[in-house]
Amino acid sequence: MWRKLLSPFARMFEFQARTHYRAERHSMALTIGIILAAAVGGFVEIAPLFTIDETVEADPDMRVYTPLEQAGRDIYVREGCYACHSQMIRTLQDEVDRYGPYSLAVESQYDHPMLWGSKRTGPDLARVGGKYSDDWQVRHLVDPRALVPESVMPQYAFLLDTTLETASLPGRLAALRAVGVPYTDAQIENAVSDTIGQAQPDGERADGTFERYGDDTNVRAFDGRRDLLTEMDALVAYLQILGDLTDLPARTQPARGE
């Protein structure tokens, strides 16, 4: 019985093997086949770019990452967090019920590289901003199993004692502007000052951070310490802005149950 059911597949595989063997014996035929396969694949990937203006949303109120948040994003990438956490909520109902409004393309327009991902050892983080307190985020990064016993996430306690390197931030923002992120000259020139100001709410530099990035910018001592600007400050600042760079998804998607 099984032989009868499988025989059509066996014949198909045998035909493919013979065809491939014959092509390998004729270099010109193999070359033409490779060109055709590459052409089809290239067309499938390139064609959507011609309609990108119609398929990607526009939001003039979308803001860029502050230097501190961008530094936190770089640490997030450096530590490989994207390997276990995606940042893309799909349109499936169970995803929307769990994580919130599904992700829009405009939300990633300033991400280089984008961190959509497909692996979820941990939960999706596209809308984690503001979901937990700074203290929760710090304690979770220091000892994940103290808050989530079943977690397999590594500990990142060292971030709490690692001073954040800021000298390279103006150059990093300038590089991002070169690939389309609309940082202004003032934002690039004051990158170091704004980084310190965002983590020191009582300092004089905080006013400059608000001026260049808006009154809704999160300005506080993210790691709970005011004596040292740490990599923990940067990473928590980044996590706390995820999903809040624009409110377009909430404005354009129906509320649950509608």
CATH code, domain carrying 225: 1.10.760.10
Instruction: Look at residue 43 and tell me if it is in a domain.
Output: yes
Q: Exposed (0-12), middle (13-18) or buried (19+): which is 69, by Cβ within 10 Å? A: buried
Q: Are 161 and 39 in the same domain?
A: no
- Non-local CB neighbours of 70 within 8 Å, separated by 6+ positions: 169, 172, 173, 176, 238
- 95 and 173 in a common domain: yes
pTM equals: 0.81
Contact 240, 130 (CB under 8 A): yes
Q: Round to whole Å and give the CA distance between 122 and 139.
A: 17
Domains of the chain: total:
2
Of 54, 76, 98, the position where a domain reaches its end is: 54
- Cα–Cα distances in angstroms (integers) from residue 4 to residues 7, 12, 68, in the given order: 5, 14, 65
Backbone angles phi, psi at 227, to 5 degrees: -90, -10
Tens place of pLDDT per residue across the chain (258 aa): 555 555 676 777 777 777 777 777 777 877 888 899 899 999 888 887 787 777 777 888 899 999 999 999 999 999 999 999 999 999 999 999 999 999 998 999 899 999 998 889 999 999 999 999 999 999 999 999 999 999 999 999 999 999 999 999 999 999 999 999 999 999 999 999 999 999 999 889 999 999 999 999 999 999 998 889 999 999 999 999 999 999 999 888 866 544
139 and 242 part of one domain:
yes
Range of the domain at 190: 67-252
Q: Are 149 and 42 members of one domain?
A: no
The CB density around residue 218, as the number of other CB atoms within 10 Å, is 21
Domain match, 83 and 19 both: no
Q: Are residues 77 and 195 in the same domain?
A: yes
Are 90 and 25 in the same domain?
no
